[in-house]
Amino acid sequence: MHSRRSGKWKTTVSISPASTVPDTALVAALLAGDEDAFEEAFRRHYPTVYAVLFRLTGSPEEAEDLAQEVFMRLYERPLAGGTNVNLGGWLYRVASNTGFNALRSRRRRWDRLLRWARLERPLGPESPNPAAEAERKATAGMIRETLAGLPERDRTVLVLRHSGVSYAEIAAALDIKPSSVGTILARAERALRERYFAMHPNTGEEYGGGR
């Protein structure tokens, strides 16, 4: 992952472990083939890339593997869009696409989609009874199926926002204005709820007390 590729990567700027170099400078350094810039990009953005992928897969191991794929793509084909690319937005968009592509490639993709904290009631620390656990799993499965049926932009904005990605980075990932993110997010959440109720009309109370 971090090995130097002969004739490609070199050190062009000094980046300390606690670097405050802005992403714009990192982008320029990456395009110049700077190994330290790649290491700093990995250190700075890996936690959010992993969070996006974990929400999609529900598996720490798979999220780690896919996060490595995302950064390998950055390492091998750094930012074809040039110096104007938003590094975080680019990485989070690639992470989201990588996660959904991985899910679509599996027959049991519904069982590996994210568990929505805001849409699914989490169980407490106490051991649940079997009936409650079965009900929770059934509800989670219906929500996963609903999410997977949304348009790509709606799925992406929901995944990124619930993974802690900022509005500015979501805007960069979706190539939209930052001022539009809130409206698009609200519409996506409404679409998710409406689709859920349309598919499962008798679950209003479980989903939050109705529309």
3-state secondary structure of 200: coil
Taking CA 15 as the corner, what is the angle to CA 12 and CA 16, rounded to the nearest 5 degrees?
150
- Asked whether 4 and 37 are in contact (CB, 8 A), the reply is no
pLDDT of residue 206: 45
Separation CA 89–CA 93 (nearest Å) = 6
Report which of 189, 182, 196 is spatially closest to residue 154, judged by C-alpha positions: 189
- Asked whether 139 and 120 are in contact (CB, 8 A), the reply is yes
Report which of 123, 116, 111, 93 is spatially closest to residue 57, judged by C-alpha positions: 111
pLDDT in tens, the chain (211 residues): 443 444 444 444 444 444 577 888 888 888 888 888 889 999 999 999 999 998 877 788 989 999 999 999 988 876 766 677 888 889 999 998 898 888 777 544 444 444 444 444 444 455 556 666 666 667 766 776 777 788 989 988 988 888 888 898 899 888 899 889 999 999 999 998 888 888 878 765 444 444 4
Separation CA 163–CA 55 (nearest Å) = 7
- Domains of the chain plus CATH, in order, are 23-116+129-199 (1.20.140)
The contacts found for 186-192 with CB under 8 angstroms, 24 or more apart, are 187/154, 188/150, 188/153, 188/154, 188/155, 188/157, 188/158, 189/158, 191/150, 191/154, 192/119, 192/146, 192/147, 192/150, 192/154, 192/158
Report which of 192, 198, 120, 202 is spatially closest to residue 156, judged by C-alpha positions: 192
